[in-house]
Structure 1
Amino acid sequence: MPVTSGRNVDVLVIGGGQAGLAAGFYLNRLRRDEASGRSGPAPTFAILDANAEPGGAWQHYWNSLELFSPAAYSSLPGYRMPAWKGEGNPSADHVANYLRTYESRYDLPVHRPVRVQAVRAADGGGYVTDTDRGQWTSRVVINATGSWNTPQFPRPPGSDRFAGQQLHTAGYRGPEPYAGRNVVVVGGGNSGAQIAADLAPTAAVTWVTRNPPRYLPDDVDGRALFDIATRRVRALAAGEPEGGGVASLGDIVAVPSVRAARDAGLLDARPMFSRLTPGGVQEEDGKQLDADVIIWCTGFRPDLQHLQPLGLTTRNGVPATDALPATRSVDSPGLFFLGYGDWCGPASATLIGVGAAARDTVAAVAGSVSL
């Protein structure tokens, strides 16, 4: 494990999921380069993770969740994901195990469970990071907290009158508790489609989407999505027509489980309802649908509340940053963002995409910040 000076490090990475580990890999490489004489002094660093165990958000996903791509195209830098021997693509548990092995393989300095409470500007430069286990100081912060802890939970009319159970994607673990029950699944993205497909064999599922579901072509997987996202970002940077990117193709990747449920006629989506009732939901035309459970597959937002003391400028709902390849705060030049989607690099919220974003971020840290 790279040596740190107590709780004072050059670079503090907040978040020990796939983005934080990828950053750790490249920060570790700087130390290897230093040891071999190929570079100057390498920064000390530490990674703070709120989870009690390694595995990132993947350890909290439902059992049947599967990746968009085969294992061979779903790896972090330096170490290929082991082959998946089950049906379809790798499961969430397979990914979590891979991340545990990855962290151990590179002996990354992850401290857990540590919950970051606030990041503040330090007198004289750098940052002070307050946690539930003490204070850290650093010259640089790489924020890689993802979005799992900040689900978007709608409150439509009648929410306080609904007598059944409501949960978000973040609370779903599998179909067993819902067998034989009337379940409304809300959301026209990948989570909504996968959870509706997961429940369809055992529950009475009503899938509700704001717009008709748009499936990507069956042969499009995560590898193709990364290529499309990369071309779009490069075109935008060059001022060329970008073709709409992934969104122009559709919203739902037809992984094997979703494809099978769709082809069997089990994913017949209904339009968004107007309100909740004590016993279910009411559609725009007044029709009542019974529901014991409503699962909101309505997405997440970046987990950034601990950065509020920095008073960051926002653009389109996210902190304003320099242009790619590295997303550095325009207000606080020692603060970098990693792994939140295309604004942090093409497909940077995915296993296949975060490696390139982490490489560029660490290069910017090493090359433009005085350590």
Structure 2
Amino acid sequence: MDILDSLVIGAGQAGLSASFHLRRRGVEHLVVDADERAGGAWQHRWDALTMRDVHGVAELPGDTPPPRDVRRANVVVPAYFAAYEEAHDLPVLRPVHVRRVRDDAGVLLVEAEEGEWRTRTLVNATGTWTQPFVPHYPGMETFLGEQFHTVDYPGPEHFRGKRVLVVGGGASAVQFLGALAPLTETLWVTRRPPVWRDDDFTPEAGAAAVALVEKRVAAGLPPESVVSVTGLMLRPQEREAERLGAYADRRPLFQRIEPDGVRWADGSFERVDVILWATGFRPAIGHLAPLHLRSAAGGIQLDRGGRGTTAVADPRVQLVGYGPSASTIGANRAGRAAAAGVVRALAKTGAVVSS
């Protein structure tokens, strides 16, 4: 079996950025992706999400982002990614479902349902979309209504005429309330009071938010999302929901779920037809478990004080779309840093690349 210089797992924004920079540096590599077509997680988002609604799609290296218009995001962004793959002749193979990565006599062995590959280095770009997080509450299995997570949100029309409980304090919850409150009755529940910001989200503010996530990663802690530390802002399309009071009547988390609603510790009860869990995602890194990359604190510690992409426990492994690069804010920078980390790791093995 031939040995690759590098293999990238995942062809979302961070994975494509890494592949672009690896190619520029002359690193022989392969990109494997679990989806049947280009587009990363964007292709799985709900039909009602338009480019005007998304919080931003950063441009891929050497390109420009698609316009913010009323077209469907789950069509526009996959088409953008597909055209980028073709224009730069990126070596993407799909569908490939990676099950685990392990060390095999000093070489990384990537095992998938579709085959095996041996590689000197690895860039993991699997993101979070495949790992939705839903907290467990007593009685949730008895609920007779519907329960959805962001990952299977069917679009606002599905909820018309139903009383919807939105759980979560992030940007997705705000967006869901903005879409649903004009159509039906909503109730908002969060773990802590939301932090609103009314200033412009400048590049400096974005950098400050990324730095907070980097600090956690540098300590080996499980990362929080970049969005979770930026604060919440209302966009023009959410002002009607604000006028209707959707954001003012927020309640703390309930104690238990009952067949027809939720109950708080003080005994108060709210009847709801639907629980919409906007409770986020976790990194999709279970396939890396055989490499023992996690620190005692529960996360994967990265180099350069959390600003880099190299796993401290195994410098052959780069992580993009993890921690500070788990949004379009940092994905392109991470791809460039990962390619540099790959070249450094290859130099230690004596492999020669053109850069």
TM-score range normalised by the length of the shorter chain: 0.7 to 0.9
Cα distance, 1:234–1:301 mapped onto 2, change above 3 Å: closer
Q: 1:142: Cα distance to partner? A: 0.5
Preserved CA contact (<8 Å) 1:168 1:295: yes
Preserved CA contact (<8 Å) 2:171 2:227: no
User: Is 1:190 paired with 2:185?
Assistant: no
Cα distance, 1:199–1:230 mapped onto 2, change above 3 Å: closer
Question: TM-score, normalising length from structure 1?
Answer: 0.82
Corresponding residue for residue 350 of structure 1: 327
Once residues 247 and 356 of structure 1 are traced to their aligned partners in structure 2, the CA distance between those partners, rounded to angstroms, is: 17
Could you report, residue by residue, the CA deviation over 1:114-159 in whole angstroms, capped at 9, with x for unpaired residues?
1100101011x22001101011110001111001111111110111
- Specify every segment of 5 or more residues in structure 2 that has no aligned partner in the other structure, as ranges: 218-225
SS in 2 for 1:160: helix
Once residues 50 and 102 of structure 1 are traced to their aligned partners in structure 2, the CA distance between those partners, rounded to angstroms, is: 18
Aligned counterpart in structure 1 of residue 100 of structure 2, from 86, 101, 118: 118
Aligned pairs for 1:1-371 within 5 A: 8-30=3-25, 42-62=26-46, 63-64=48-49, 66-69=53-56, 74-86=58-70, 91=73, 93-123=75-105, 125-217=106-198, 219-220=200-201, 223-229=203-209, 251-267=231-247, 268-314=249-295, 316-323=297-304, 324-342=306-324, 348-370=325-347, 371=351
SS in 2 for 1:257: helix
Once residues 210 and 58 of structure 1 are traced to their aligned partners in structure 2, the CA distance between those partners, rounded to angstroms, is: 27
Preserved CA contact (<8 Å) 1:329 1:335: yes
Q: 1:263: Cα distance to partner? A: 4.2
Q: 1:300: Cα distance to partner? A: 0.9
Once residues 242 and 211 of structure 2 are traced to their aligned partners in structure 1, the CA distance between those partners, rounded to angstroms, is: 30
Could you report, residue by residue, the CA deviation over 1:161-192 in whole angstroms, capped at 9, with x for unpaired residues?
21112121111131122211111110011111
Preserved CA contact (<8 Å) 2:192 2:252: yes
Once residues 96 and 170 of structure 1 are traced to their aligned partners in structure 2, the CA distance between those partners, rounded to angstroms, is: 17
Preserved CA contact (<8 Å) 1:68 1:255: no
Preserved CA contact (<8 Å) 1:313 1:319: yes
Q: Aligned letter for 2:181? A: A
SS in 1 for 2:330: helix
Preserved CA contact (<8 Å) 2:209 2:229: no
SS in 1 for 2:343: helix
Preserved CA contact (<8 Å) 2:5 2:346: no
Once residues 184 and 263 of structure 2 are traced to their aligned partners in structure 1, the CA distance between those partners, rounded to angstroms, is: 20
Stretch deviating more after TM superposition (354-363 or 208-217) = 208-217
Preserved CA contact (<8 Å) 1:182 1:293: yes
Once residues 7 and 190 of structure 1 are traced to their aligned partners in structure 2, the CA distance between those partners, rounded to angstroms, is: 45
Preserved CA contact (<8 Å) 1:126 1:139: yes
Once residues 165 and 231 of structure 1 are traced to their aligned partners in structure 2, the CA distance between those partners, rounded to angstroms, is: 38
Give percent identity, aligned residues only.
39
Q: 1:212: Cα distance to partner? A: 2.1
Once residues 160 and 276 of structure 1 are traced to their aligned partners in structure 2, the CA distance between those partners, rounded to angstroms, is: 8
Stretch deviating more after TM superposition (96-105 or 138-147) = 96-105
Could you report, residue by residue, the CA deviation over 1:82-105 in whole angstroms, capped at 9, with x for unpaired residues?
323349xx9454333322222222
Question: TM-score, normalising length from structure 2?
Answer: 0.86
Could you report, residue by residue, the CA deviation over 1:32-54 in whole angstroms, capped at 9, with x for unpaired residues?
xxxxxxxxxx2211111111111
Cα distance, 1:203–1:96 mapped onto 2, change above 3 Å: farther
RMSD over equivalenced CA pairs, Å: 2.7
Cα distance, 1:236–1:198 mapped onto 2, change above 3 Å: closer
Once residues 59 and 225 of structure 1 are traced to their aligned partners in structure 2, the CA distance between those partners, rounded to angstroms, is: 29
Stretch deviating more after TM superposition (14-23 or 350-359) = 350-359
Cα distance, 1:247–1:167 mapped onto 2, change above 3 Å: closer
Q: 1:232: Cα distance to partner? A: 5.9
Preserved CA contact (<8 Å) 1:215 1:250: no
Once residues 158 and 3 of structure 2 are traced to their aligned partners in structure 1, the CA distance between those partners, rounded to angstroms, is: 46
Q: Aligned letter for 1:29? A: R
Once residues 236 and 286 of structure 1 are traced to their aligned partners in structure 2, the CA distance between those partners, rounded to angstroms, is: 37
Preserved CA contact (<8 Å) 2:128 2:281: yes
Cα distance, 1:233–1:280 mapped onto 2, change above 3 Å: closer
Cα distance, 1:349–1:235 mapped onto 2, change above 3 Å: closer
SS in 2 for 1:300: coil
SS in 2 for 1:352: coil
Q: 1:220: Cα distance to partner? A: 2.0
Q: Return the structure number with greater relative CO, CA threshold 8 A, min gap 6.
A: 2
Aligned length: 336
Preserved CA contact (<8 Å) 2:170 2:227: no
Once residues 2 and 205 of structure 2 are traced to their aligned partners in structure 1, the CA distance between those partners, rounded to angstroms, is: 40
